Amino acid sequence: MPTLSVTLGTSIDSLFSLTDESRFARIDNMLWDKRFLTQQEFDEEEHFLQEKCREEETRSRATLLLAELYCKRAREYNDLASPLARQALALNPDCKEAHNAIFDAEHGAYLDWNATNHYRTIVFYQEFLAAHPENHSAHLWLLDLLIADRRCAEAREVLDKMHRLKPTYNDDFYLGCILLQEGHTDDALAQWEAMCAKYPDTWEVYVMRASELAKLAHYDEAIADYEKAMALMPPPRFVDPAEAIAQICEIRGDYETAITYYEKVIAIEKADWHETQGEAIDAPQRSIARLREKLASR
């Protein structure tokens, strides 16, 4: 029964005692499998994790899970705020604050540099790398931030350090991203083409290029790369390429094909990850239902 509790994320602690590790696993499952936690679930797990953060043996795992619990709660409140903010704008079309609420809830694209630059997080990662210079993955996170803020000269320096630490296909990809942010679109596309030629059997390079092509609205090329990635990806396969193609199809108004790819998402979840319930299944099913409503209203 404790194993059942871990799998289902249901609270039966009053009947059976879970080990700390089983409780951690159950919380992790709840974070992924449940769209909304009840207030009781949130309060119980928050209290448990706060207690475990004080214990040396469990501090690392508990601290991460507590952070993830708060992140999930924030997403839940955004999901609750989004329809209300849209309704507020419908009720008062001239209300600027309603637009702000929509953007806050749905992570809208503010163009104001002062509100959107990532300097604080950049400083954190710069300090983290100063303390952990051999951490390859931290270079990737810092590059994401620097490139997003168009701090390309600094990004080139970080890329050079990362390459000297451990050469990978990421070097080719991020050089293309820097070139794109510098305004050299053709050079960026050529760089990614060379990357894919250099690593023809590596599914990750096609996913990365597909994402950048989609941002450029090169949708046909992006779909081809996503399809290539799915063909190369070993099981258990990730659903991101199928989700991305579904979104492209919806943007184009091709709701039927979008539904097909959301159905593919569900099929992958069931076949590769053995998911039969929870958000992994419910989320694409909601997208399918929404798209069918759009088709019916045409």
Residue 12: the pLDDT is 54
141 falls within a domain: no
Distance CA 75, CA 32 (A): 12
1 falls in which pLDDT band (50, 70, 90)?
A: very low
Q: Is a pLDDT exceeding 80 seen at residue 161?
A: yes
Has residue 39 been placed in a domain? yes
Q: Percent of the chain having pLDDT more than 70?
A: 94
CA distance 58 to 24: 10
User: Taking the C-alpha atoms of 55, 33, 242 and 181 in order, what is their torsion angle to the nearest 10 degrees?
Assistant: -40
Residue 8 has pLDDT above 90, yes or no: no
Mean predicted confidence (pLDDT) in 266-292: 98
pLDDT at 4: 47
Domain span at residue 19 reads 1-108
Name the least confident of 3-12, 111-120, 259-268.
Answer: 3-12
Residue appearing with tokens 């596309």: 189
Mean pLDDT of the chain: 95
Please check the confidence at residue 57 and state whether its pLDDT lies above 50: yes
Q: How far apart are CA 122 and CA 277, in angstroms?
A: 38
CA separation for the pair 239, 233 (Å, rounded): 10
Q: What is the mean pLDDT of residues 268-281?
A: 97
* SS3 labels along 223-272: HHHHHHHHHHCCCCCCCHHHHHHHHHHHHCCCHHHHHHHHHHHHHHHHHH
Q: What is the pLDDT of residues 58-78, one digit of tens each?
A: 999 999 999 999 999 999 999
Query: What are the pLDDT digits (tens) for 102-146?
Result: 999 999 999 999 999 999 999 999 999 999 999 999 999 999 999
Q: Does pLDDT of 14 surpass 60?
A: no
Does pLDDT of 209 surpass 70? yes
Instruction: Judge whether 227 lies within some domain.
Output: no
- Residue 58 falls inside a structural domain: yes
pLDDT of residue 62: 99
**What tokens were used for 251?**
């943007």
- Overall domain count for the chain: 1
Give the per-residue pLDDT at 49.
99
- CA pair distance 192, 58, nearest whole angstrom: 43
Q: Does some domain include residue 258?
A: no
Residue 100 inside a domain? The answer is yes
Asked if residue 38 is part of any domain, the answer here is yes
Please tell me the distance from the alpha carbon of residue 163 to that of residue 136, in angstroms, as a whole number. 9
Instruction: Point out the least confidently predicted range of 16-30, 212-226, 235-249.
Output: 16-30
- Does 86 score more than 60 pLDDT? yes
Q: Which residue has the tokens 């849209």?
A: 86
Non-local (6+) Cβ contacts of 129 within 8 A are: 135, 138, 139, 142
With cut-offs at 50, 70 and 90, classify the pLDDT of residue 18. confident
In a domain, 169, yes or no: no
Q: What is the mean pLDDT of residues 150-174?
A: 99
Distance between CA atoms of residues 218 and 250, nearest Å:
15
